[in-house]
Amino acid sequence: MITDPGALTALQSCHSDLHCARAAALSAAGHLGGARASRTLELAEILADCIAGCHRLCFVVEGDLRYEGQR
């Protein structure tokens, strides 16, 4: 399997964008009340899970690229 280095760059960009989206959701939650604030905080938690998943995927793809570079 050959991994394109552009894939890691794209995943790192995704990771950064997810962090920005979570920060924006948390900021919005501070300006909302009741159910809307709760739903926005739920969104922030979902984004946190996505951030963790993306981070793991970046780690795996980076490992693949290093392994393929040693061949």
* pLDDT band at residue 8 using 50, 70 and 90 as cut-offs: very high
Average pLDDT of the chain? Answer: 95
Domain ranges of the chain: 17-69
Considering only residues 71 and 11, tell me which one the structure prediction assigns the higher pLDDT: 11
Any residues with CB less than 8 A from the CB of 55 and at least 6 apart, and which? 15
* pLDDT band at residue 58 using 50, 70 and 90 as cut-offs: very high
3-state secondary structure of 32: coil
φ and ψ at 70, to 5 degrees? Answer: -90, -10
Residue 17 has pLDDT above 70, yes or no: yes
Residue 70 has pLDDT above 80, yes or no: no
Torsion, Cα of 11, 41, 25, 29 (10° steps): -170
Distance CA 5, CA 71 (A): 15
